[in-house]
Each structure stands twice: as structure tokens, then as C-alpha cells.
Structure 1
Amino acid sequence: MKKMLLALTLAFAANFANAQDKKKDSIPPNGWTKDGNIQLLFNQSAFNKEWKGGGTSSVSGNLTLNYDLNYRMNDFTWDNKLLANYGLTKTKDDEFTRKTSDRIEFNSIAGKQLTDSNWYYSYFFNFRSQIAKGYEYSEDTDTGETIRTETTHFFSPAYLQTGPGMMWKKNDNFMFNIAPATARFIFVDDVFTSGVDYVDGDYFGVDQGKSSRFEFGASISALATFEILENVNMENSINLYSNYLDNPGNIDIDYLMNMEMTINRYLSANLLFQAIYDDNAVGAFQIREVFGLGINYKI
């Protein structure tokens, strides 16, 4: 885990340094600014019955929303970002349509600038959950049929983090925030923790019969957005969290990279990569990668 954390940190630092070289300083005007994009990624493969090379016909789609609403008034800033994505895939021989992506996240951070400095006193709020039900799939040993068991749904789990800190902000594209006194709440549906055989902490760290877990620790988050090549933009974000109350050495990691390669006003190719480490969920890295042709709509 430490090697993976080091690799992600070094990659983010390299991207951040590269971005510093390529982006000019820009101070947005006072008042509200907004920017957003809705994108539909589409993937499809098809094989006729005579095809002998192996493969299964499938179709998949992924809908993504990325919206920024920011406010500035002299030495005060308030940045808000809404992220959402939802993806499904259907293969020919599978009776179920399966999720490939499901995430909703809201970030808000307010800052009061120190005189003639890129540093700000800050206070942040972060909320993460999912949109639809999640399932685990298994096979019935008697019939051979696929069985699906619900394991998650909206607000189960849900994460809420908030706390004061210090933010370094070059502009809207480059910033990091350090919050050494962060409260974190994990919310779940107690239907998943109420079984007689349930072991405390097995479901996202929540104890038997409970619907929430409270943690107190330190949070570090960073954002770097820049242009790699003409019409090729990359947005990187990373969030680190250490819980003082339980195994502070186990650092939760959430890294997200979104690369958009613009074809024209409405079409783009998109690569999304995400790596999550949270030992309350599973003691290993969760990796997600999505690539496809995107249809864009500016909002």
C-alpha cells in the first residue's frame, strides 16, 4: 500500500509541477463564475455466430457530470464542485445489466486570503455516495443460474467530511488544502449491519446494529488541472485521510484522473482512472478505468 501511495503522490506532484510550468497565473474577477460539462461515453462490441476468435457482444454507457460554481470577492473565495457518474454494461449472455460506475460527490471550500499570499484560512465540506443499488454476483450450485445480492444503495455508504484548515491556492486550477482537525461520518443502512452473524466493522467500519460511524483525523486534498497538449486536458484530484481514533497509520486514499481529448465542440475521447484505498471497505486498492468516445454538452 505504501508503494502505491508513494507512486500516486509522485505522479500527482509531477503533474502539478508540469501544470505550474504550463499555466499562467490568472485571478478570476469578483462575483460568481460557473463552468460545467455533461458527457456520455459509449462502448460497443459485436460478434456474429460464425466468429471463432472468442468474445461476447456487449454494449455499455457512462454518463458524467462535472460542474463548478465559484465565488470570489477580493480576499474571500468559495469554490464548489459537483461530480457525478453512472455507467451500465450489458453483455449478450448475461441476464443482468451491471453497473460499471456509480458515484456522486460534492466538494465545497471557503477561504480567507492571508495578505499578499497564496495561503488562505479555509473551511471545507465533502460529501460522497452513490446513486443506485450495488450487487454481488454468484452462481447457484444447484441450477447454475446467476444470483445477485444487494450490498449497497444510495446513502449506504455515504461519507461526510468537514473541518477547518489552511489552503494554498494558485488559481482555480491549482490548490491543496490541509485540515488537521477533520470530522468524518460514515452513514449506512442498518439493514446491512443487523444480522446476528454480523461482525463489528465488516460493513464499511460500522458496528453491529448501527447506521453510522464517527471518525476524527487529518485530511489533505489537492487539485491540479492543466493542458497536456492542444485539446488534451487532464484533471487530477487526490484526497488523503488519517483517522486519529483508529489505526492512524492506515491512510485512506482517493485519487481521480480525468483526461479529455477534444475532437470538436460536441465529441471527445475520454479516459478516467480512479484508485481508492479504504481498509474499512476492503484491505486492498480498488481500481476503476473507463475509456470511450464522449458526447459533450456544455452547461
Structure 2
Amino acid sequence: MKKILLLLTLAICSWSVLHAQDDTFKKYRENAAGKLKKAENDTTNRLWKKGATLSLTVNQGSLTNWAAGGDKFSLSIAGAFSGFANYRKDRHRWDNTMELAYGYVNTTSLGGRKSDDRIDLTSKYGYQIGKSLYASALMNLRTQMANGYLYTDTSDIFVSKFFAPAYLILSPGLDYIPNDEFSLFVSPITARWVFVLDDSLANVGSYGVDTGKHVNTEYGAYLTANWNKKVTENIVFKSRLDLFSNYKHNPKNIDVYWTNMLTMKVNKYLSANVSLDMIYDDDIRVFENKNTGVLGPRLQIKQVIGVGFTAVF
């Protein structure tokens, strides 16, 4: 009987020890798996950095028996979306941005018309070959959403719409990125396509396409510089300059596309924005010289000041 009790006691003790060891190893395995899963998530988060900014500005005014004069009613609405998704791993970097903007203004004297309209998509891949130098390839598409008109004192002239024009750039080159604020991309061999997918505009050779055609292919040199500067905790300045020289036609007449935005944050959801855009394209010859009456290219300038809702994701 004593032998049986002794054997039972030894069996119970052995089982307890083994069970305790199994629980211990199980906890070790669970902790190790949790740490591994967390490490994988952390790595994924480090590879991609994504974000967006959404802003909406509304201004309204009305006048009743106002001796100084002015429009009885005015309403302006402007919305903008800016999103990015950037990838980093070892020597690889892939930057993607989307810029959308649309504005509308209505007054009793002028009626309704748009004040802003922009679609701008950019994707750039780079492989690091030096301390701040990348061998890169860039794609950029720029067009608009709605019909556009050139307003005169007596008429409204239809001049643009979605994909009329649209500019598509494919460009291999070198990208100089000394820090997170500045980048300079240069390419001596760039292909640019100008699309005018509207018969009425294509038939008069708008935006440099041959009369009756919808696409014009250009080859030239391309440069784009981007500067994002955090001036203070609540003030950010963004600037982008694009230059393109067409080797096939008037290479000295360089196309310029320059956008600037100063954002001043008031609180979490309120901000003030000041923007200045400048465009020069020698192929856009719709502006009339008042002295000579001759149509030709002009420096296009758009300046906007607004205060409104802003959400950052």
C-alpha cells in the first residue's frame, strides 16, 4: 500500500511540474509571437507614411441700401484636398501625391463662375546612388474638373474642360534630396503629352496641338523643385516650381508652372491660407493685347486669401 501511495505521489508531482513547465513555455511562446507580430506591424508602419489635408472656405456678403455701392449679394466657396503616400525601405523611396482644388464665386453683377479648378497627380520612384542623390523616374498628370471660360465685357468664351487640356509627363532623371524639406529633380530627356479631348478646341489648334488633332507629343528637358518649410509650429510654406523646355519647338520659350501656399494654423480646425500661382505657356495664345488686338501668351497669375475649416489626417 505504501508503494502505491508513493507512486501516486510521484506521478502527481511529475504531472504538476510538467503542467507548470507547459504553461511557462506557452506564455513564452505567446509573448514571443506577440512581440514578433508587433515588430512586423511597426516595420509596416515605418515603410509607409500616409496623410491628407482637407480644407473648405466659405465667404458670403450682402448689401442693402449701402451708400458706398457694391454687389447686393456675393458668395464664394473653395475646397482643396492634398494627400500623400510615401514608401521608404533601404535605398528605395516612392513618393505619391494628389492635389485637388475647386472654387466657385457668385455675385449679382457677374453671375456664377469658377475661381479655381485643379487635378494634379504625381508619382516618383527613386533608388539611392549617393548620400543625397537618387536615380529616379517621375510621372505627373495635370488637368481640371469642369468647363472653363474666358470672360470679356460682352461674352463668355469656352476655353477648357476635363482633359482639354491635360498634361502628362514621364521623365527619368536624377533627384537631389538633401533633407526632408527640399528636393530637386532634373531630367534632360522627358516626354510630355498635351491632350485636348474636345473637338471644338482641337479644331482651332488650342494648347499647341495641330489643328484637328487631340494629342501633341513633346520631348525636352524638365526640372521640378519642391520646398516644404515649417516656419513655426503653426505656419507652413509650400512651394513647387516646374520648368519644361520643348526641344522640338521654340526650346528657349520655357513653360513655367509655379505654385506657392502659406498656411497659418489658428486652432485644430481653423486656418488661414494665402496662395499664389503663376503659369506661363507659350502655346496658350488666347489673351488679347489691348493695344494691338493680337492674341498671344501671357503670364497667368492667381492669388487667393482665405480663412476656413481645415482637417489634417
Alignment TM-score, normalising by the size of structure 2: 0.78
Q: 1:194 to 1:128 in 2, by over 3 A?
A: closer
Letter in 1 for 2:210: D
- The alignment status of 1:187 with 2:187, answered yes or no, reads no
Unaligned runs of 5+ in 1: 1-28, 141-146
CA distance in 2, matches of 1:174, 1:168: 8
SS in 1 for 2:199: helix
Residue in 2 that maps onto 1:40 = 56
How far is the alpha carbon of 1:172 from its aligned partner? Answer: 3.8
Letter in 1 for 2:138: F
- The alignment status of 1:74 with 2:77, answered yes or no, reads no
Structure 1 stretch 214-223 or stretch 224-233: which is displaced more? Answer: 224-233
Residue in 2 that maps onto 1:241 = 244
SS in 2 for 1:204: helix
Could you list the structure 1 runs, at least 4 aligned residues long, displaced by more than 3 angstroms after superposition.
Answer: 137-140
How far is the alpha carbon of 1:58 from its aligned partner? Answer: 1.0
SS in 2 for 1:245: coil
CA distance in 2, matches of 1:33, 1:119: 21
Q: 1:257 aligns with which of 255, 260, 266?
A: 260
Structure 1 stretch 258-267 or stretch 183-192: which is displaced more? Answer: 183-192
Q: 1:294 to 1:137 in 2, by over 3 A?
A: same
How far is the alpha carbon of 1:193 from its aligned partner? Answer: 4.2
The answer to whether the 8 Å contact 2:125/2:138 transfers is yes
CA distance in 1, matches of 2:178, 2:98: 21
Residue in 1 that maps onto 2:99 = 83
Residue in 1 that maps onto 2:164 = 156
SS in 2 for 1:222: strand
Query: Which is richer in strand?
Result: 1
Letter in 2 for 1:121: A
The answer to whether the 8 Å contact 1:193/1:210 transfers is no
The answer to whether the 8 Å contact 1:30/1:74 transfers is no
- The alignment status of 1:31 with 2:34, answered yes or no, reads no
Q: 1:62 aligns with which of 78, 99, 112?
A: 78
- The alignment status of 1:176 with 2:172, answered yes or no, reads no
The answer to whether the 8 Å contact 1:190/1:209 transfers is no
1:196-207 alignment runs, 5 A limit: 198=204, 201=205, 203-207=206-210
Letter in 1 for 2:260: M
Residue in 1 that maps onto 2:283 = 280
How far is the alpha carbon of 1:239 from its aligned partner? Answer: 0.4
How far is the alpha carbon of 1:296 from its aligned partner? Answer: 1.0
CA distance in 2, matches of 1:161, 1:110: 14
Residue in 1 that maps onto 2:109 = 93
How many matched pairs? 258
Letter in 2 for 1:39: S
How far is the alpha carbon of 1:35 from its aligned partner? Answer: 1.6
Q: Which digits, 9 at most, give the CA deviation of each residue in 1:250-292, with x for residues without a partner?
A: 0111110111100111000111110001011141110001111
Q: 1:224 aligns with which of 221, 224, 227?
A: 227
SS in 1 for 2:164: coil
Q: Which digits, 9 at most, give the CA deviation of each residue in 1:185-244, with x for residues without a partner?
A: 00002412454xx3xx4x100111100100000100011111223311100111000001
How far is the alpha carbon of 1:84 from its aligned partner? Answer: 0.8
CA distance in 2, matches of 1:62, 1:190: 26
Query: Which is richer in helix?
Result: 2
CA distance in 2, matches of 1:139, 1:234: 37
How far is the alpha carbon of 1:138 from its aligned partner? Answer: 4.5
How far is the alpha carbon of 1:136 from its aligned partner? Answer: 2.8
How far is the alpha carbon of 1:114 from its aligned partner? Answer: 1.2
The answer to whether the 8 Å contact 2:94/2:123 transfers is yes
Unaligned runs of 5+ in 2: 1-44, 286-296
Q: Which digits, 9 at most, give the CA deviation of each residue in 1:77-134, with x for residues without a partner?
A: 000110010000000234x41010001000111100014x100001000000000111
Residue in 2 that maps onto 1:214 = 217
Q: 1:61 to 1:209 in 2, by over 3 A?
A: same
Residue in 2 that maps onto 1:292 = 306
Rg larger in structure: 2
CA distance in 1, matches of 2:142, 2:202: 23
